[in-house]
Amino acid sequence: MNTSVMSGKVLPVGSKSRHASGWWGMLTVVATEAALFAYLLFSYYYVAAHTTNPWPTGGDPKLDLAIPGTLILIAGSLVMAWGEHGIRRGRNGRLAAGLIVSILLALLFLGIQFWEWFHKPFALDYDAYSSLYFVITGFHMAHVAVGVVMLVAVLLWTALGHFDAERHSAVSIAVIYWHFVTIVWLAVFFTFYLSPRLI
Protein backbone atom coordinates (compact mmCIF):
# COMPACT_ATOMS: atom_id res chain seq x y z
CA MET A 1 0.00 0.00 0.00
CA ASN A 2 1.29 3.37 -0.96
CA THR A 3 1.50 5.63 2.08
CA SER A 4 0.40 8.66 0.08
CA VAL A 5 -3.01 7.03 -0.46
CA MET A 6 -3.51 7.07 3.27
CA SER A 7 -2.63 10.69 3.91
CA GLY A 8 -4.66 13.80 3.40
CA LYS A 9 -7.85 12.37 4.80
CA VAL A 10 -9.59 14.40 7.47
CA LEU A 11 -10.95 12.14 10.21
CA PRO A 12 -13.47 12.69 12.98
CA VAL A 13 -11.98 12.80 16.47
CA GLY A 14 -13.38 10.77 19.35
CA SER A 15 -16.80 9.38 20.17
CA LYS A 16 -19.36 10.17 17.54
CA SER A 17 -22.33 7.90 16.89
CA ARG A 18 -21.06 4.79 15.10
CA HIS A 19 -17.47 5.95 15.37
CA ALA A 20 -17.68 5.34 19.13
CA SER A 21 -16.23 2.01 20.21
CA GLY A 22 -19.00 1.85 22.80
CA TRP A 23 -21.60 1.68 20.03
CA TRP A 24 -19.97 -1.52 18.77
CA GLY A 25 -19.51 -2.73 22.34
CA MET A 26 -23.22 -2.37 23.07
CA LEU A 27 -24.09 -4.48 20.03
CA THR A 28 -21.96 -7.31 21.42
CA VAL A 29 -23.58 -6.89 24.85
CA VAL A 30 -26.96 -7.23 23.19
CA ALA A 31 -25.75 -10.37 21.38
CA THR A 32 -24.65 -12.07 24.60
CA GLU A 33 -27.81 -10.94 26.43
CA ALA A 34 -29.94 -12.29 23.60
CA ALA A 35 -28.14 -15.61 24.03
CA LEU A 36 -28.96 -15.51 27.75
CA PHE A 37 -32.67 -15.13 26.99
CA ALA A 38 -32.46 -17.81 24.32
CA TYR A 39 -31.16 -20.24 26.98
CA LEU A 40 -33.86 -19.11 29.43
CA LEU A 41 -36.59 -19.75 26.87
CA PHE A 42 -34.92 -23.01 25.84
CA SER A 43 -35.24 -24.08 29.49
CA TYR A 44 -38.94 -23.20 29.41
CA TYR A 45 -39.67 -25.15 26.24
CA TYR A 46 -37.47 -28.06 27.32
CA VAL A 47 -39.33 -28.47 30.61
CA ALA A 48 -42.71 -27.87 28.94
CA ALA A 49 -42.00 -30.55 26.33
CA HIS A 50 -41.09 -33.14 28.94
CA THR A 51 -43.66 -32.39 31.62
CA THR A 52 -46.42 -34.77 32.58
CA ASN A 53 -48.20 -32.16 34.73
CA PRO A 54 -50.96 -29.89 33.36
CA TRP A 55 -49.24 -26.98 31.60
CA PRO A 56 -49.27 -24.11 32.36
CA THR A 57 -50.00 -24.38 36.05
CA GLY A 58 -53.24 -22.52 36.81
CA GLY A 59 -54.39 -22.47 33.17
CA ASP A 60 -53.38 -20.13 30.34
CA PRO A 61 -52.12 -16.82 31.79
CA LYS A 62 -54.58 -13.96 31.33
CA LEU A 63 -53.89 -11.37 28.67
CA ASP A 64 -55.81 -8.46 30.21
CA LEU A 65 -52.70 -6.91 31.76
CA ALA A 66 -50.01 -8.51 29.59
CA ILE A 67 -51.23 -6.88 26.37
CA PRO A 68 -51.36 -3.35 27.83
CA GLY A 69 -47.94 -3.98 29.41
CA THR A 70 -46.55 -5.02 26.03
CA LEU A 71 -48.00 -1.95 24.36
CA ILE A 72 -46.53 0.26 27.09
CA LEU A 73 -43.02 -1.13 26.49
CA ILE A 74 -43.35 -0.70 22.74
CA ALA A 75 -44.59 2.86 23.25
CA GLY A 76 -41.55 3.53 25.48
CA SER A 77 -39.23 2.36 22.71
CA LEU A 78 -40.98 4.52 20.10
CA VAL A 79 -40.89 7.60 22.33
CA MET A 80 -37.20 6.99 23.00
CA ALA A 81 -36.50 6.74 19.26
CA TRP A 82 -38.32 10.07 18.83
CA GLY A 83 -36.18 11.64 21.57
CA GLU A 84 -32.95 10.29 20.07
CA HIS A 85 -33.98 11.65 16.70
CA GLY A 86 -34.34 15.03 18.39
CA ILE A 87 -30.77 15.19 19.68
CA ARG A 88 -29.45 14.38 16.21
CA ARG A 89 -30.76 17.83 15.31
CA GLY A 90 -29.51 19.32 18.53
CA ARG A 91 -32.88 19.41 20.30
CA ASN A 92 -32.02 18.78 23.92
CA GLY A 93 -35.57 19.41 25.12
CA ARG A 94 -37.02 16.74 22.88
CA LEU A 95 -34.38 14.26 24.06
CA ALA A 96 -35.18 15.04 27.69
CA ALA A 97 -38.91 14.66 27.05
CA GLY A 98 -38.35 11.32 25.33
CA LEU A 99 -36.21 10.10 28.23
CA ILE A 100 -38.68 11.18 30.91
CA VAL A 101 -41.70 9.61 29.17
CA SER A 102 -39.76 6.39 28.50
CA ILE A 103 -38.66 6.14 32.13
CA LEU A 104 -42.23 6.68 33.35
CA LEU A 105 -43.61 4.08 30.93
CA ALA A 106 -40.96 1.60 32.06
CA LEU A 107 -41.87 2.17 35.70
CA LEU A 108 -45.53 1.65 34.81
CA PHE A 109 -44.60 -1.62 33.09
CA LEU A 110 -42.69 -2.76 36.17
CA GLY A 111 -45.68 -1.86 38.35
CA ILE A 112 -48.00 -3.96 36.17
CA GLN A 113 -45.55 -6.85 36.30
CA PHE A 114 -45.34 -6.72 40.08
CA TRP A 115 -49.11 -6.55 40.30
CA GLU A 116 -49.32 -9.74 38.19
CA TRP A 117 -46.67 -11.39 40.33
CA PHE A 118 -48.59 -10.81 43.54
CA HIS A 119 -51.89 -11.97 42.08
CA LYS A 120 -50.64 -15.31 40.79
CA PRO A 121 -52.33 -18.28 42.50
CA PHE A 122 -48.90 -19.93 43.04
CA ALA A 123 -45.57 -18.92 44.58
CA LEU A 124 -42.04 -19.22 43.21
CA ASP A 125 -41.39 -22.64 44.78
CA TYR A 126 -44.71 -24.27 43.77
CA ASP A 127 -43.47 -26.30 40.77
CA ALA A 128 -41.29 -26.13 37.66
CA TYR A 129 -43.72 -23.83 35.84
CA SER A 130 -43.89 -21.35 38.70
CA SER A 131 -40.07 -21.40 38.91
CA LEU A 132 -39.77 -20.66 35.19
CA TYR A 133 -42.44 -17.98 35.25
CA PHE A 134 -41.02 -15.95 38.12
CA VAL A 135 -37.36 -16.34 37.20
CA ILE A 136 -37.73 -15.57 33.47
CA THR A 137 -40.06 -12.59 33.96
CA GLY A 138 -37.81 -11.57 36.88
CA PHE A 139 -34.77 -11.65 34.61
CA HIS A 140 -36.61 -9.44 32.16
CA MET A 141 -37.72 -7.02 34.86
CA ALA A 142 -34.13 -6.77 36.07
CA HIS A 143 -33.15 -5.84 32.52
CA VAL A 144 -35.87 -3.17 32.42
CA ALA A 145 -34.56 -1.85 35.74
CA VAL A 146 -30.99 -1.69 34.39
CA GLY A 147 -32.35 0.10 31.32
CA VAL A 148 -34.10 2.64 33.57
CA VAL A 149 -30.81 3.28 35.40
CA MET A 150 -29.12 3.89 32.04
CA LEU A 151 -31.84 6.28 30.93
CA VAL A 152 -31.70 8.17 34.24
CA ALA A 153 -27.93 8.60 33.84
CA VAL A 154 -28.43 9.81 30.26
CA LEU A 155 -31.17 12.18 31.47
CA LEU A 156 -28.77 13.58 34.07
CA TRP A 157 -26.12 14.16 31.41
CA THR A 158 -28.75 15.72 29.13
CA ALA A 159 -29.72 18.11 31.93
CA LEU A 160 -26.04 19.00 32.35
CA GLY A 161 -25.93 19.89 28.67
CA HIS A 162 -23.40 17.25 27.69
CA PHE A 163 -25.04 16.35 24.39
CA ASP A 164 -25.55 18.09 21.11
CA ALA A 165 -26.13 17.22 17.47
CA GLU A 166 -22.50 16.16 17.03
CA ARG A 167 -21.78 14.24 20.23
CA HIS A 168 -24.39 12.07 21.87
CA SER A 169 -23.03 8.55 21.58
CA ALA A 170 -24.05 7.77 25.20
CA VAL A 171 -27.65 8.36 24.10
CA SER A 172 -27.40 6.13 21.04
CA ILE A 173 -25.72 3.38 23.07
CA ALA A 174 -28.38 3.40 25.81
CA VAL A 175 -31.12 3.41 23.18
CA ILE A 176 -29.78 0.21 21.59
CA TYR A 177 -30.11 -1.52 24.95
CA TRP A 178 -33.55 -0.02 25.46
CA HIS A 179 -34.88 -1.39 22.16
CA PHE A 180 -33.34 -4.76 22.99
CA VAL A 181 -35.24 -4.91 26.28
CA THR A 182 -38.48 -4.29 24.39
CA ILE A 183 -37.75 -6.84 21.67
CA VAL A 184 -36.75 -9.55 24.11
CA TRP A 185 -40.00 -8.93 26.01
CA LEU A 186 -41.89 -9.85 22.83
CA ALA A 187 -40.18 -13.26 22.92
CA VAL A 188 -40.97 -13.68 26.63
CA PHE A 189 -44.56 -12.53 26.06
CA PHE A 190 -44.99 -14.97 23.17
CA THR A 191 -43.58 -17.83 25.24
CA PHE A 192 -45.65 -17.37 28.37
CA TYR A 193 -48.86 -15.80 27.13
CA LEU A 194 -49.34 -16.98 23.55
CA SER A 195 -47.53 -20.30 23.07
CA PRO A 196 -49.78 -22.26 25.54
CA ARG A 197 -52.80 -21.09 23.52
CA LEU A 198 -51.32 -22.40 20.28
CA ILE A 199 -50.95 -25.99 21.44
Partner 1 sequence: MTVETFREPKLVTAEEAARREPALRRIWETPPGLAGWLSSVDHKSIGKRYLVTALIFLILGGLEAAVMRAQLSQPDMHLLSPEAYAQLFTMHGVTMIFLYAFPVLSGFSNYLWPLLLGSRDMAFPRLNAFSYWSFLAGGIALYVSFIAGRAPDNGWFNYVPYASRGFDPGVNIDAYALGMILLGLSTTVGGINFIVTLLRLRAPGMSINRVPILIWGTLTASLGNLFAVPAVTLAFVLLWFDRSWGTHFFDSSGGGQPLLWQHLFWMFGHPWVYAIVLPAMGIVSDGLPVFCRRPLVGYSAVALATVSTMVLGFGVWVHHMFATGLPVSSLSFFSSASMVIVIPSAVAVFAWLATIWTGRPRFTTAFLFFAGFVLLFVIGGVSGFMTAAVPADWQLTHTYFVVAHLHYVIIGINVFAVVGGVYFWFPKMTGRFMNETLGKWSFWVMFIGFNLGFFPMHIAGLAGMPRRIYTYPADAGWGGVNMVITLGSYLFAVGVLLFLINIVVSRFKGRAAGANPWDGGTLEWSVSSPPPPYNFALIPIVARRHPLWEEQLAEGEDRSSTNAKGFLLDHGRETLGTTPIDAEPDVILKMPEDSWMPLLLALAVSGLCTGLLLKLWFLFGIGTAVSLLAAVIWLWPRRYLSQVER
119 is a contact residue toward partner 1 (CB under 8 A):
no
- In 3D, which of 108, 84, 111, 114 has the Cα closest to residue 97? 84
Do 191 and 49 form a contact (C-beta atoms < 8 A)? Answer: no
**Contacts of partner 1 in 31-50 (CB under 8 A):** 31-33, 35-36, 39-40, 42-43, 46-47, 50
| Amino acid found at 9 | K
- In 3D, which of 82, 87, 80 has the Cα closest to residue 167? 87
List 94, 120, 162, 179, residue binding partner 1 (CB under 8 A): 162
155 is a contact residue toward partner 1 (CB under 8 A):
no
Do 87 and 171 form a contact (C-beta atoms < 8 A)? Answer: yes
199 is a contact residue toward partner 1 (CB under 8 A):
no
State the helix-helix crossing angle for 128-159 and 21-50, rounded to 10 degrees.
Answer: 160
Chain contacts with partner 1 (rule: CB under 8 A) = 1-3, 6-16, 19, 21, 24-25, 28-29, 31-33, 35-36, 39-40, 42-43, 46-47, 50-53, 124-132, 135, 149, 153, 157, 161-164, 166-167, 169-170
